[in-house]
Amino acid sequence: MFSKQVLSIILGGGQGSRLYPLTESRSKPAVPIAGKYRLVDIPISNCINSEIKRIYVLTQFNSASLNRHIKNTYHFSFFSKAFVDVLAAEQTPMSDTLFQGTADAVRQSMHHFMRHEFEYALILSGDQLYQMDYNLMLEQHVASGAKISIATIPVNAKEATSFGILKSDDKNEVTSFIEKPDASLLPEWTSEVSDDMKSKGRNYLASMGIYIFNRDLLIDLMKNPDTNDFGKEIIPQSIGKHKVLSYQYEGYWTDIGNIDSFFEANLGLTDEIPQFDLYDRNNRIYTRARMLPTSKISGTTLNRSVIGEGCIIHAAKIERSVIGIRSRIGADSTVINTYMMGNDTYETLQEINQNKISNVMGIGERCFIKNAIIDKNCRIGDDVRINGGHHLKDTETDTYCIREGIVVIKKGAEIPKGFVI
């Protein structure tokens, strides 16, 4: 077991502009998923399940809610060396700029990492959905004598043009790399994959943005201030100079890069047998323990839906939707193909009466909501009709925006009674 010799570094990403408006007031790793978790819970849970319990999360934009979530969630024994710490970009005598890329983020934070004893640095992305035992990758890395290992996933020709593609030999050593190749170049970039992957036409190895570096090599590479990115600079430059290994992963993996992939990843949890398994007791996803009551549902027809804790639901119908914690949905409302993130607090009847609140947090009565993402703490009045789809053009207002036919209601927005989108 090499996990005790590993330091995990989770890259929080940049501004998350492709996930806007979900990242308007929070960093990308803090975006809520699956009704009760945050994106950052995925790589942290994978680390904990792999017995890797020294974890840094690097971020630089809107990091307050991420800090709060991690502080309230990941508590380890006083007698262990385990920790999950957030490192935000900071001004130091050595650097006064924000992170310029993935490698620059690690470079600027190296003085924090060097306080710990470790032999291997596991570098992860904070915006992916997957379940992986990193020990298997680590064992292959150590056994082969590699200096760098890259997790790769076999993809088909259509997908290959969207990824950095690696070519490996029969010993899984990476021999070359190309960023988002043109379709005409693909025949030269096939690699040796399993028979199962071959049968599905998945002959190309895409980089998953998951790396293992030997400590000494990482220190050397970080001395060069001209390299800012792992995928575009450090990995291509290391191939041929150092032993770089491909670790093939064949499980479920998706990159939460934009609103569309985020939406599909969440609604995918409602499938009969979801590809991302939240019910696997050997690969649990950890998050903040909120001690909420069970959900209360009255007169609602539910079909292929996931309901978080503490909800009060009187809807007529909920179909293929994910309903987050503390959600309220009024009588005779219909919710289809929707991810509702839920609320941070409850509004009591006393508060509603005292403050004369006409639109309570949640969805009102007689509403129709389809193809939408409803961010936290939204107030949707009675008789509102939101019918997302590709017939809608991309647009943005103060309370909502439309991306690829998906209507995104902004965090804390109030949609007046009778409003139609």
Q: Is the pLDDT of residue 45 over 80?
A: yes
Q: Is the pLDDT of residue 228 over 80?
A: no
Q: Is the pLDDT of residue 63 over 60?
A: yes
Token pair 């319990």 is at which residue?
53
Q: Which tens digits make up the pLDDT trace of 80-119?
A: 889 888 887 655 555 556 666 677 777 777 877 888 889 9
Among candidate residues 128, 127, 100, the one with its CA nearest the CA of residue 232: 100
Q: What percent of the chain has pLDDT over 70?
A: 95
Both structure tokens of 86: 């957030």
Among candidate residues 90, 4, 107, 11, the one with its CA nearest the CA of residue 56: 11
Residues with Cβ within 8 Å of residue 8, at least 6 apart in sequence: 43, 47, 52, 54, 55, 56, 121, 122, 124
State the Cα torsion 143-144-149-155 to the nearest 10°. -110
- CA 275 to mean position of chain CA atoms: 15
DSSP three-state, residue 328: strand
Cβ proximity of 58 and 110 under 8 Å: no
Q: Is the pLDDT of residue 29 over 90?
A: no
Residue 158 pLDDT: 86
Q: Which tens digits make up the pLDDT trace of 258-308?
A: 899 999 999 999 999 999 989 888 899 999 988 999 999 999 999 999 999
Q: Where are the alpha helices (H) located in 116-258, listed in sequence order?
A: 134-144, 157-160, 195-199, 215-221, 235-238
- Residue 409: band (very low, low, confident or very high) from pLDDT cuts 50, 70, 90: very high
Q: Which tens digits make up the pLDDT trace of 332-352?
A: 999 999 999 999 998 887 887
Q: Which tens digits make up the pLDDT trace of 136-181?
A: 999 999 999 999 999 999 998 888 888 888 988 888 888 888 888 8
Residue 89 pLDDT: 63
The domain segmentation of the chain, as residue ranges, is 3-270, 296-415
Q: Is the pLDDT of residue 75 over 80?
A: yes
- What's the average model confidence in pLDDT over 389-394? 92
CATH classification of 296-415, choosing from 1.10.3720.10, 2.160.10.10, 3.40.640.10, 3.90.76.10? 2.160.10.10
The one-letter amino acid at 207: S
Separation of alpha carbons 421 and 213, rounded Å: 49
- What's the average model confidence in pLDDT over 39-56? 94
Average pLDDT, the chain: 88
Q: Where are the alpha helices (H) located in 63-126, listed in sequence order?
A: 64-73, 102-113
- Residue 416: band (very low, low, confident or very high) from pLDDT cuts 50, 70, 90: very high
Residue 59 pLDDT: 81
- Residue 256: band (very low, low, confident or very high) from pLDDT cuts 50, 70, 90: confident
Residue 107 pLDDT: 76
**H or E segment to which residue 373 belongs:** strand 368-374
- What's the average model confidence in pLDDT over 387-402? 93
DSSP three-state, residue 140: helix
- What's the average model confidence in pLDDT over 57-78? 84
Region of residue 40 (phi > 0: left; psi between -120 and 50: alpha; otherwise: beta): alpha
Third-level CATH fold of 3-270: Spore Coat Polysaccharide Biosynthesis Protein SpsA; Chain A (3.90.550)
Half-sphere exposure of 156 (CA within 13 A, CB side): 5
- What's the average model confidence in pLDDT over 325-332? 95
Cβ proximity of 338 and 370 under 8 Å: yes
Separation of alpha carbons 190 and 154, rounded Å: 10
Reported pTM: 0.92
Residue 54 sits at φ, ψ, to 5 deg, of -120, 105
Residue 298 pLDDT: 95
Residue 327 pLDDT: 96
Which tops the pLDDT comparison, 171 or 232? 171
Among candidate residues 82, 141, 113, the one with its CA nearest the CA of residue 286: 82
